[in-house]
């Protein structure tokens, strides 16, 4: 009796990066397709600006292409790639501070594909949801980078505590306490933003 090989299962990230390291360009394309949207969402949430996020993601994939052999299978590929994107996003934030370009117009709320929205909502609920999303992103944007990073990785990207710990290079206890503090700060900022809104 012959057992047919299951060809429907997608290869793991680690298999793909190994294939790419061995010269398989198709494996690189598959990794880009797999991570383009999650990394874009992560960078956009971190920076609050679509163009800057696109630049960061593009640079991430460029570094993956140039430094493919820097990856070692002692870590998950996702941890490695998120770490690169996070470091680039933090560098971009430092550049932005130097340029003193922190303005509301840079937040890029018009980009719907990166919003969390209820697809079942009717038009009125959709408008309310978009407004809430705008305020959430504004509050995230105001968080210090160390809090911003953990809340995006854990609550938005839904990575495990262990993986977040590896990305930010911190023990599990630190991840959990920093995340709790980040959530509290986010809640405070949201309350402050809502209080400033004129009553309808």
pLDDT for 180 equals 93
Q: Return per-residue pLDDT of the chain as tens, 200 residues.
A: 444 444 457 899 999 999 999 999 999 999 999 999 999 999 999 998 999 999 999 999 999 999 999 998 778 999 999 999 999 999 998 887 665 544 444 444 444 444 444 444 455 556 666 777 787 888 888 899 899 999 999 988 989 999 999 999 999 999 999 999 999 998 888 888 777 766 55
Helices (H), 113-198: 123-142, 145-151, 161-168, 172-195
- Residue carrying structure tokens 């509301």: 104
How crowded is residue 56: how many other Cβ atoms within 10 Å of its Cβ?
26
CA dist 30 and 11 (Å) reads: 10
For 65, 66, 91, 93, the CA distances from 70, given in Å and listed in that order, are 10, 9, 20, 25
Domains of the chain: 11-114 (1.10.1740.10), 121-200 (1.10.10.10)
Say if residue 81 is exposed, middle or buried (CB neighbours under 10 Å; 0-12, 13-18, 19+).
buried
């Amino acid at each position: 009796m012959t057992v047919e090989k299951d060809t429907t299962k997608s290869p793991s990230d680690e298999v793909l990066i190994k294939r790419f390291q061995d010269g398989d360009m198709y494996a690189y394309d598959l990794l880009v397709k797999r991570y383009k949207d999650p990394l874009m969402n992560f960078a956009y949430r971190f920076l609050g600006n679509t163009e800057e996020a696109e630049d960061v993601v593009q640079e991430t994939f460029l570094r993956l292409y140039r430094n493919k052999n820097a990856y070692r299978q002692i870590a998950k590929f996702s941890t490695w790639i998120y770490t690169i994107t996070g470091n680039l996003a933090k560098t971009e934030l430092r550049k932005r501070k130097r340029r003193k370009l922190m303005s509301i117009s840079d937040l890029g709320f018009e980009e719907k594909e990166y919003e969390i929205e209820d697809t079942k909502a009717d038009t009125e609920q959709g408008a309310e949801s978009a407004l809430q999303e705008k305020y959430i992103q504004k509050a995230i944007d105001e968080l210090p980078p160390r809090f911003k990073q953990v809340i995006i990785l854990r609550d938005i990207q839904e990575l495990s505590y262990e993986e977040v710990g590896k990305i930010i290079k911190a023990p599990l206890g630190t991840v959990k306490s920093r995340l709790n503090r980040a959530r509290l700060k986010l809640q405070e900022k949201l309350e402050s933003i809502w209080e400033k809104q004129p009553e309808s």
